Amino acid sequence: MIPLTVTLAAAALAGTAGGHFNPLHHSGAASPYFDAPSQFGISPSTPPQCVVDQAAYIVRHGSRYPEPGSFAGWQALFAKLQNASYTARGPLAFLPSWVPPVDDIPHEPLFLSSTGSTEAFSLGVQLRKRYRFTAGGDNFTVWAAGQQRVVDTATYFLQGYLSQGNYFNEPEKNRGTIVAMPDSVNYTFADSLTPSTGCPAYGSGDTSSKANDYRAAYQPAVARRLNQYLDGLNLDGSDIAVMQDLCGFQSEIDGDIRFCDIFGESEWKDYEYAHDLNYYYGSGPGNPFSATVGYPWIQAVTGLLLRGPDNRRNGDNFVPPPLVMSFTHDNDLPPVVSALGVWNSSLSPGIFPLSTNGPDARRTFRSSNLVSFRGYIALERLSCDSQAPPSEVEHAAGHVLPAPGTTASAEKYVRIRINNAVVPVPGCTTGPGESCPLKAFAAHVRERLAVAGDFVERCNLQDVMNATGTLDIFTKVPSEKAQSFTLVVPQPYAVTVP
């Protein structure tokens, strides 16, 4: 007879290796980046008759070490394991030798891991190749909330985006500028990449404590199951919380997945659903002020898409690039989902609002597919011909034919990507690749204002001097209201070749 412990571990490894179930794709905000699966059956490829001529992204920072509060939980678990005499066997046999994966406490907690820097660098390379917006030697500007891990993510993104050619000793070429915004302050209001902090009413709508109730309901049973592999030590629900967090964190810090292997698929789905409840009711559609704080970004970006990639308008003191990149935190992505009106359809009764009793497999709001490390929401403007390119094309010598979607008659459309998966605009999928005509998308955004409301009024800021509901950081650089500062990377340096 094969021991049960071996069978469980083998099953977990087989599920991960075979692609059937990967805990790292169900770890909510602790998930290292992965491309989300398509929930709507729409190919992420650009339709053949189209080209993306403009895009805007809002991106969570890359994978990081734990925040100090979470790290305290890791240290408490380590102390519990080391201060007891016990026997551990089977899938828990590694616990007596486990140590927290932080070896430089003053410099690691809160900050990017090497995985996070790689994720950001890779995104820069991917988007440079995907869109080909920026010619070699051209400079490029991005925007970031001002906390170090966010600015560092933007920096590594720029290093990847601009990582071609030899421009190190030409400081006027191939430089990236980061417009860094004050992070999590209350005086920038909507003119921010962390606008919830500038909305005093926002906290009153946060009912994310429902996630804690759900955790308290499932974690004790998990602890009882694992305790059969321990003599002389008992795990409790708080230990389970830390151990499941360590699956995602330790895998991205040092590649250790042993905590991933000790939980079953149903336990991972409960863990993920607790994250879903946390974000849905904390910063997502379950918070009545979520759309309010997410709408300014949608409104500002839609204005850029309507004006097109040149983005010139009288009164602007800056012309943003055709690829508009915003870097921020996990809790600042669900409000954008709320403002767009996706993943929370009233046409799906019984699914939304999310139940606190247990997950419904039909739900589209899944935290792992949104707020994973380096998770993002993107709006792409498609320029499309009326028909796909012909299978046979004649060429005259010395004449480059227009690429699909670049003719004067091309029509404009918008698609939403969330962690690469295409998410349809509700009720607007008539364009190529189930995209939405640009003018119809703009109308959809205007209609969403009825849900979002006026930022100043809904946030009770009518009597606050200089309160604003407008996000203007993409055309006002630096933004006076947001008090941004700029950082240029990379710095030129001298190279001596022997």
From residue 412, alpha-carbon distances to 58, 101, 430, 439 in Å are 21, 49, 12, 8
Q: Which of the residues 239, 261, 276, 330 is marked catalytic?
A: 330
Distance in angstroms (rounded) separating the CA atoms of residues 482 and 473 = 8
Q: Output DSSP code: residue 352.
A: B
SS3 of 247, please? helix
Task: Residue 339: name the closest of 180, 181, 196, 188 by CA.
Answer: 196
Residues 433, 423: contact at Cβ < 8 Å? no
C-alpha distance across the termini of the chain, in Å: 66
Helix orientation angle between 209-226 and 237-254, rounded to the nearest 10 degrees = 90
Q: Which of the residues 26, 61, 329, 444 is marked catalytic?
A: 61
Residues 299, 248: contact at Cβ < 8 Å? no
In this structure, the number of other CB atoms found within 10 A of the CB of residue 169 comes to 10
Residues 67, 110: contact at Cβ < 8 Å? yes
- Residue showing tokens 């920038």: 188
Distance in angstroms (rounded) separating the CA atoms of residues 485 and 33 = 28
Residues 249, 276: contact at Cβ < 8 Å? no
Query: Catalytic site residue 61?
Result: yes
SS3 of 193, please? coil
Q: Report the alpha-carbon angle 346-352-358, nearest 5.
A: 165
Q: At 141, list the tokens.
A: 């500007």
From residue 124, alpha-carbon distances to 59, 176, 293, 445 in Å are 12, 11, 27, 28
- Residue showing tokens 């029509």: 411
Residues 37, 419: contact at Cβ < 8 Å? no
Query: Catalytic site residue 330?
Result: yes
Q: At 348, list the tokens.
A: 């799906």
Radius of gyration of the chain (CA): 24
Give me the active site residues, please: 61, 330
